[in-house]
Chains A and B, each alone.
Chain A
Amino acid sequence: MAMESDEIERLIREGIPDARVEITDLAGDGDHYSARVVSESFRGQPRVKQHQRVYEALGGRMGGALHALQLTTATPD
């Protein structure tokens, strides 16, 4: 089962409203994406926590409907 990149972006924005989200479909198969999520709310949080917040926003789809998401998180410069 695959997910559309728009859907991934929408879910992340719902969970982290100020997030800037860039999604890339790595293999063009709707199953392997990379996401870069930039949010001021990440500031001061360890990387594990930042990634956990993105996974939480994706509501359990990670590792299920969403097989492979290469994730990078950052705070705005």
Chain B
Amino acid sequence: MTDTTTRIGEIVNSNDVVLFMKGTALFPQCGFSSRAVAILDHLGVQFETVDVLQDPEIRQGIKAYSDWPTVPQLYVKGEFLGGSDIMAEMFEAGELQQLLEEKQVAKA
């Protein structure tokens, strides 16, 4: 286990909902990240964001950690859910709302 892996593990396990993204929730720096934030905002859940542009180690490390080549990436209660496409698909199918309720994620 590298230090970065340990750090990422701590982040995903200490936040119920965490989005690794480019930029911040207020100022997303990429269309995909912006879309991911919009979905979470719309669902009204509490979530943390990690700006990978501010942290090159996390930016590289998260790709290996999740076996996923791109950012944004969503974790709910330590489980990797996918990127913005999967979030959008799940949202449109009503599955994301259902999953967040099942996992008893706090509302914002």
Chain A residues close to B by CB (< 8 Å): 47-48, 51-52, 55, 60, 62-63, 68, 70-72
Contacts and interface: CB of A to CB of B under 8 A. Distances in A.
Interface of B: 31-32, 63, 67-70, 80-83, 85-86, 89-90
A4 to B, nearest CB: 19
B49 to A, nearest CB: 19
Given A63-B63, A68-B32, A72-B89, A47 B68 contact: no
Contact of A55 (B32, B69, B86, B90): B69
A68 to B, nearest CB: 7
Given A55-B68, A60-B69, A63-B69, A48 B80 contact: yes
Interface centre among B31, B80, B86 (most CB of A within 10 A): B86
B50 to A, nearest CB: 17
A51 B69 CA distance: 10
A16 B14 CA distance: 37
